[in-house]
């Protein structure tokens, strides 16, 4: 049997052991907190892991990290469907636009024809010839470039300038400025109308203001430099002495004219021609006052003093 003294000693040793270990005395059941459910424990552990992750590996600036509930939420199937419908709608619109452009370019009402064209400023050239030179027949109105058409028209003989305008649905307006012929040049059996720039002018409409008969050159081919120099002289004489309308070119006279019956004025190949004509007129008046009669007034080598015989 255990004596009373042994029981007291055992109870005292247990009390001293509990005090030494720091253990709290057991609480009565009515003072204990209620037990947590498994779901609450899992949520608490997930929150603890999330906080630990944010502390150890912080998110990049500006990048939102979904919480556990958002990460666990299933992906919405409507988002990809909405993107597919949006892209499909864009493709449908693009296809409709392409189809509309193709149909637009095939409309007969937008094709240029001669009946829808207007040509203005043509006096020597025919409107049909100008329209054909433009090269717009049968082209789509949207594909015509006015600058290119104007360049084509300026290459046409007798055209100094051109302006082209477009109007829907298929109308083309062409306005041209024709070159004015300066001289009807006769070389051998060939006669051409030349502008002051040397371009050949179609022989239609009002005749040139002067004529030159070239008895030296059988043809105008291969004499461009010399011909341009003569054209410059003729243009100068048309301004200073418009009464002179007929000239000749020969050897040894050079450029010459006949102011009266039986009299020739030789001007040569060098200018200034206007000054030479003035000196020739003064010499002719002097000869008439003296009662003389000459056949040639020579100014080939000087524009200050005339020789005559």
CATH number at residue 156: 3.10.20.310
Domain boundary among 132, 159, 178: 178
Has residue 25 been placed in a domain? no
pLDDT value of residue 193: 93
Same domain? For 260 and 235 the reply is yes
Has residue 81 been placed in a domain? no
pLDDT value of residue 89: 73
Distance CA 139, CA 170 (A): 9
pLDDT value of residue 20: 46
Domain boundary among 152, 178, 204: 178
What six digits make up the tokens of 288? 């008439």
pLDDT value of residue 175: 96
Has residue 193 been placed in a domain? yes
For the chain, 309 residues long, give each residue's pLDDT as a single digit of tens.
Answer: 455 555 655 555 555 555 444 445 555 655 666 666 777 777 878 888 877 766 555 555 555 555 555 555 556 667 776 777 777 777 778 877 777 666 666 678 889 998 889 999 998 889 999 999 999 999 988 889 999 999 999 999 889 999 999 998 899 999 999 999 999 999 888 899 999 988 888 888 889 999 999 988 866 767 788 888 999 999 999 999 999 999 999 999 999 999 988 899 999 998 899 999 999 999 999 998 988 889 999 999 988 889 998
Structural domain range at position 129: 108-178
Same domain? For 218 and 203 the reply is yes
Q: Residue 177's closest CA among 150, 200, 204, 203?
A: 150
Same domain? For 160 and 237 the reply is no
Same domain? For 230 and 295 the reply is yes
Has residue 290 been placed in a domain? yes
Same domain? For 300 and 221 the reply is yes
SS (H, E, C) the chain: CCCHHHHHHHHHHHHHHHHHHCCCCCCCHHHCCCCCCHHHHHHHHHHHHHHHHHHHCCCCCCCCCCCHHHHHCCCCCHHHHHHHHHHHHHHHHHHHHHHHHHHHHCCHHHECCHHHEEEECCCCCCHHHHHHHHCCCCCEHHHCCHHHHHHHHHCCCCEEEEEEEEECCCEEEEEEEECCEEEEEEECCEEEEEECCCCEECCCCCCCCEEEEECCCCCCCCCHHHHHHHHHHHHHHHHHCCCCCEEEEECCCEEEEEEECCEEEEEECCCCHHHHHHHHHHHHHHHHHCCCCCCEEECCCCCCCCEEC
Domain boundary among 136, 159, 178: 178
Q: Is the pTM of this model over 0.75?
A: no
pLDDT value of residue 272: 92
pLDDT value of residue 14: 53
Count of the separate structural domains present in the chain: 2
Same domain? For 188 and 304 the reply is yes
pLDDT value of residue 61: 53
Has residue 55 been placed in a domain? no
Same domain? For 251 and 159 the reply is no
């Amino acid at each position: 049997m255990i004596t009373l003294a042994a029981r007291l000693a055992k109870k005292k040793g247990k009390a001293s052991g509990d005090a030494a270990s720091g253990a709290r005395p057991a609480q009565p059941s009515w003072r204990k907190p209620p037990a947590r459910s498994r779901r609450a424990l899992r949520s608490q552990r997930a929150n603890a892991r999330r906080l630990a992750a944010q502390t150890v590996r912080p998110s990049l600036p500006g990048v939102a990290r979904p919480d556990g509930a958002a990460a666990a939420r299933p992906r919405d199937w409507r988002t990809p469907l909405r993107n597919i419908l949006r892209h499909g709608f864009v493709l449908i619109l693009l296809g409709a636009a392409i189809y509309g452009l193709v149909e637009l370019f095939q409309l007969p009402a937008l094709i240029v024809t001669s009946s829808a064209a207007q040509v203005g400023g043509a006096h020597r050239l025919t409107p049909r010839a100008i329209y054909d030179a433009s090269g717009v027949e049968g082209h789509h109105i949207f594909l015509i470039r006015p600058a290119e058409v104007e360049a084509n028209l300026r290459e046409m003989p007798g055209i100094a300038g051109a302006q082209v305008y477009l109007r829907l649905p298929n109308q083309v307006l062409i306005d041209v400025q024709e070159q004015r012929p300066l001289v009807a040049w006769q070389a051998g059996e060939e006669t051409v109308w030349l502008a002051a720039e040397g371009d050949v002018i179609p022989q239609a409409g009002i005749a040139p203001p002067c004529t030159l008969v070239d008895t030296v050159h059988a043809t105008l081919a291969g004499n461009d430099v010399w011909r341009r120099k003569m054209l410059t002289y003729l243009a100068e004489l048309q301004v200073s002495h418009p009464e002179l309308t007929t000239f000749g070119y020969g050897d040894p006279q050079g450029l010459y004219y006949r102011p009266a019956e039986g009299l020739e004025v030789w001007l040569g190949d060098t200018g200034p021609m206007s000054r030479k004509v003035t000196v020739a007129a003064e010499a002719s008046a002097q000869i008439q006052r003296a009662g003389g009669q000459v056949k040639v007034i020579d100014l080939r080598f000087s524009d200050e003093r005339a020789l005559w015989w």
